[in-house]
């Protein structure tokens, strides 16, 4: 191919001469893409999210040795090019530019250069270069804003889809123009409203029998009203309505206009156009700890994965042919670094996979900046890990809090459940009463503080959060442990009366973590109810009356919380006992008073013990599910050894 001879002078490309040189014909619209990026925070947020997250991953070059082996190449020309596309340009900045241009324009252009005997790539803004002539399959050449022409093999061009041609893409902004225009017009209306006095949008009405004003009276009143409504244009003050005049508001106030909701909707539309889950860009309306964690784990698979696969393949297809020694060479983004999980998760997986400890004492000390010790370079193998014995040293240790079940293998014990307990229904009533009483007690403390505004409620709630959570989690944990034992007892009495292989202590870490989770959710429900009530108090009674109603709502929430938590603990306890007893299948049994049609349709549905039911839950009340599937659920499971 023919390279540009620049002698190190990049200006010879001719780019940057004519401003707003469009990469392709763009339909008439109020903004061009650059202006949209500069003025629309939603677009900038989403595009920057894509560019920054992909750029930080890094891209590596490999040679395929066989179908099961490969070697990392650090000195190959492609690796050198990607490490420093231009003198002084980092790989991060190059990838960031490439992703940003592609996301905004659906096109990325880079001119291939020879500098100091090495191939380089100069990113060119799509406004300064375009494909020219040719046909719908390929352009004849690329033309820059300065009039320079480059052959197709002298340009790195990554583009998306356009229905009528293969030569360029179509920006996602085109499909968002109406949404963004609406957002801009709403912003203009807000600015006009604040400029005109913010709250005063209406008309003045004079009674029919009011005395007629002369020009002097009209001018005097007009000046007074303008001084009042247009802050900064006069001295302001309090308006005086004469002759029985009345002010009638017209139009929308900020709450009725739903400005915040409209801005949020715009961001949701933009994120949908780029396939980004809303919680990842700050829209947390339906976010929970569990679903945000899952969305982060899927980010590099479903959201960024397709982008990274496309960019890697385009770099290979358009650059490798210009480099020597490129047989079986390819590049890929280092996505594995983002999918490995936390150190604790990696350590647990590595220990289980190898069947023994996998780090020496000195290696661990080095990670914590501690000096090596004598004898610390040998792997320690616990006595319970031998060939034919336990699979790994973790088999007798508790699993992480996030584990969906108790231990896969237990130390056999004859200690089955003992002691008399109320029936599950009686225990539910006892739990509901206790949680409602504690909720009333905690809410009474808020009312005793006599807050006068929503902000005062928020401050009070934040200041006492740790104490409330301690009380709530202690009470909930006490009952969840009892429910867990009750659920286990029901299964053990039928399948394993001696309790062989089951231990109540093994369930405790999971149930304690679940209790804290339910305490946090219940506390958040009380805070939300109190703040919303204080923000819009009734005309009579003010904030104090509003908090009385909010306390009733929180008490009702306590009833729902107790039902949901009880079902989860009963289900978990039974599931844990079934696993310890060697049972392999579970069956969903819908409660007779369950109003959910989807649960009624699941009655009798069978699944492997460690599998999921059709609604995605492991058991009734499973906290990984949505509230619509778990709240107030009283369904249960039965078990069997065979299908």
Could you tell me if 355 and 391 are in contact, meaning their C-beta atoms sit under 8 angstroms apart?
yes
Q: Does the pLDDT value for residue 475 go beyond 90?
A: yes
Question: pLDDT: is 496 or 405 the higher one?
Answer: 496
Is 443 in the same domain as 557? yes
Percent of the chain with pLDDT over 70: 75
Could you tell me if 339 and 297 are in contact, meaning their C-beta atoms sit under 8 angstroms apart?
yes
**Which of 517, 529, 495 is CA-nearest to residue 565?**
517
Is 521 in the same domain as 565? yes
Domain closes at, from 219, 250, 281: 250
Is 348 in the same domain as 229? no
In a domain, 541, yes or no: yes
DSSP state of 21: -
Residues 26-31 have a mean pLDDT of: 40
Is 493 in the same domain as 636? yes
In a domain, 278, yes or no: no
Average pLDDT, the chain: 78
Is 507 in the same domain as 597? yes
**Structural domain range at position 210:** 202-250
pLDDT of residue 225: 78
Residues facing 149 on adjacent strands: 143
Percent of the chain with pLDDT over 90: 25
Is 240 in the same domain as 387? no
Domain closes at, from 223, 250, 277: 250
pLDDT bucket at 346, cuts 50 / 70 / 90: low
Is 438 in the same domain as 388? no
- The region of weakest confidence among 23-37, 168-182, 276-290, 609-623 is 23-37
Report H helices in 146-288: 173-195, 215-229, 254-257, 259-273
> Position of tokens 């396939």?
275
Q: Does the pLDDT value for residue 76 go beyond 90?
A: yes
Q: Does the pLDDT value for residue 25 go beyond 70?
A: no
Interatomic CA distance for residues 74 and 472, integer angstroms: 56
pLDDT bucket at 383, cuts 50 / 70 / 90: low
> Position of tokens 């004003």?
213
pLDDT tens readout for residues 409-425:
333 333 344 446 788 88
Q: Does the pLDDT value for residue 340 go beyond 50?
A: yes
pLDDT tens readout for residues 139-156:
999 999 888 999 999 999
Three-state DSSP string of 522-590: HHHHHHHHHHHHHHCCCCCCHHHHHHHHHHHHHHHHHHHHHHHHHHHHHHHHHHHHHHHCCCCEEEEEC
pLDDT tens readout for residues 275-313:
887 777 666 655 555 555 666 666 777 788 889 999 999
Question: pLDDT: is 4 or 459 the higher one?
Answer: 459
Q: Does the pLDDT value for residue 471 go beyond 60?
A: yes
Is 347 in the same domain as 464? no
Is 559 in the same domain as 603? yes
Report H helices in 57-130: 77-83, 91-105
pLDDT bucket at 273, cuts 50 / 70 / 90: confident
Torsion of CA 227, 229, 235, 238, to 10 degrees: 100
Question: pLDDT: is 7 or 566 the higher one?
Answer: 566
Question: pLDDT: is 248 or 404 the higher one?
Answer: 248
Domain count, the chain: 3
Q: Checking DSSP bridges between strand 129-132 and strand 155-159, what pairing results, if any?
A: unpaired
In a domain, 244, yes or no: yes
Residues 426-431 have a mean pLDDT of: 90
Phi, psi angles (nearest 5°) of residue 354: -90, -20
Residues 13-30 have a mean pLDDT of: 41
Is 602 in the same domain as 481? yes
pLDDT tens readout for residues 350-379:
666 666 677 888 888 777 777 888 878 887
pLDDT of residue 366: 79
In a domain, 391, yes or no: yes
In a domain, 620, yes or no: yes
Residues 425-452 have a mean pLDDT of: 89
> Position of tokens 């007074």?
224
In a domain, 34, yes or no: no
pLDDT of residue 126: 92
Is 331 buried (19+), middle (13-18) or exposed (0-12) by CB count in 10 A? buried
Q: What is the CA radius of gyration of the chain?
A: 34
In a domain, 240, yes or no: yes
Domain closes at, from 250, 278, 310: 250
Interatomic CA distance for residues 459 and 560, integer angstroms: 26
Is 231 in the same domain as 358? no
Q: Does the pLDDT value for residue 98 go beyond 90?
A: yes
Q: Does the pLDDT value for residue 65 go beyond 80?
A: yes
In a domain, 587, yes or no: yes
pLDDT bucket at 407, cuts 50 / 70 / 90: very low
Is 349 in the same domain as 438? no
């Amino acid at each position: 191919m023919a390279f540009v001879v620049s002698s190190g002078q990049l200006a010879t490309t001719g780019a940057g001469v004519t401003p707003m040189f469009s990469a392709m014909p763009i339909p008439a619209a109020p903004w061009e893409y650059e202006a949209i990026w500069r003025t629309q925070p939603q677009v900038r947020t989403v595009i920057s999210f894509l560019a920054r997250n992909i750029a930080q991953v890094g891209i590596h070059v490999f040679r395929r040795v066989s179908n099961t082996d490969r070697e990392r190449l650090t000195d190959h020309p492609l690796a050198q090019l990607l490490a420093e596309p231009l003198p002084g340009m980092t790989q991060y900045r190059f990838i960031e530019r490439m992703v940003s241009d592609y996301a905004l324009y659906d096109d990325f252009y880079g001119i291939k250069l020879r500098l100091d005997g090495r191939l380089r790539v100069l990113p060119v803004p799509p406004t300064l270069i375009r494909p020219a002539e040719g046909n719908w399959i390929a352009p004849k050449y690329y033309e820059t804003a300065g009039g320079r022409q480059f052959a197709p093999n002298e340009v790195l061009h990554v583009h998306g889809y356009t229905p009528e041609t293969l030569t360029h893409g179509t920006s996602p902004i085109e499909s968002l123009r109406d949404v963004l225009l609406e957002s801009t017009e709403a912003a203009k209306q807000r600015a006009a409203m604040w400029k005109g006095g913010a709250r005063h949008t209406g008309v003045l009405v004079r009674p029919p029998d009011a005395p007629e004003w002369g020009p002097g009276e009209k001018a005097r009143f007009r000046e007074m009203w303008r001084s009042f409504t247009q802050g900064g244009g006069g001295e302001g003050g309090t308006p005086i309505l004469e002759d029985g005049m009345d002010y009638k508001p017209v139009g929308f106030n900020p709450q009725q206009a739903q400005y915040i909701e409209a801005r949020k909707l715009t961001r949701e539309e933009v994120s949908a156009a780029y396939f980004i889950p809303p919680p990842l860009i700050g829209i947390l309306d339906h976010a929970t700890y569990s679903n945000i964690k899952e969305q982060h784990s899927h980010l590099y698979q479903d959201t960024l994965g397709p982008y990274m696969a496309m960019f890697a393949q385009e770099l290979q297809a358009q650059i490798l042919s210009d480099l020597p020694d490129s047989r079986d060479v390819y590049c890929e983004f280092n996505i594995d670094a983002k999918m490995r999980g936390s150190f604790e998760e990696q350590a647990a997986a590595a220990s289980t996979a190898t069947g023994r400890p996998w780090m020496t004492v000195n290696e661990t000390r080095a990670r914590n900046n501690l000096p090596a010790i004598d004898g610390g370079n040998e792997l320690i193998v616990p006595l319970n890990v031998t060939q034919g014995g336990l699979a790994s040293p973790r088999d007798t240790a508790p699993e992480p809090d996030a584990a969906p079940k108790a231990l896969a293998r237990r130390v056999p014990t004859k200690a089955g459940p003992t002691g008399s307990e109320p029936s599950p229904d009686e225990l539910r009533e006892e739990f509901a009463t206790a949680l409602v009483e504690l909720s009333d007690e905690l809410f009474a403390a808020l009312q005793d503080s006599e807050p006068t505004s929503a902000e005062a409620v928020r401050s009070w709630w934040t200041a006492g959060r740790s104490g409330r959570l301690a009380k709530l989690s202690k009470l909930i944990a006490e009952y969840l442990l009892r429910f867990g034992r009750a659920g286990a007892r029901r299964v053990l009495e039928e399948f394993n009366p001696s309790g062989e292989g089951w231990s109540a202590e093994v369930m405790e870490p999971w149930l304690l973590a679940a209790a804290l989770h339910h305490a946090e959710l219940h506390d958040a429900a009380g805070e939300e109810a109190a703040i919303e009530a204080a923000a819009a108090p009734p005309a009579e009674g003010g904030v104090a009356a509003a908090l009385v109603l909010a306390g009733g709502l929180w008490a009702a929430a306590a009833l729902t919380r107790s039902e949901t938590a009880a079902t989860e603990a009963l289900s978990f306890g039974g599931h844990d006992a079934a696993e310890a007893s060697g049972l392999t299948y579970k069956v969903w049994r819908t409660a007779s008073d369950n109003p959910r049609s989807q649960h009624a349709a699941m009655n009798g549905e069978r699944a492997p013990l460690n599998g999921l039911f059709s609604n995605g839950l492991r058991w009734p009340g499973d906290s990984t599910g949505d509230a619509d599937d778990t709240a107030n659920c009283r369904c249960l499971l039965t078990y069997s050894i065979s299908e």
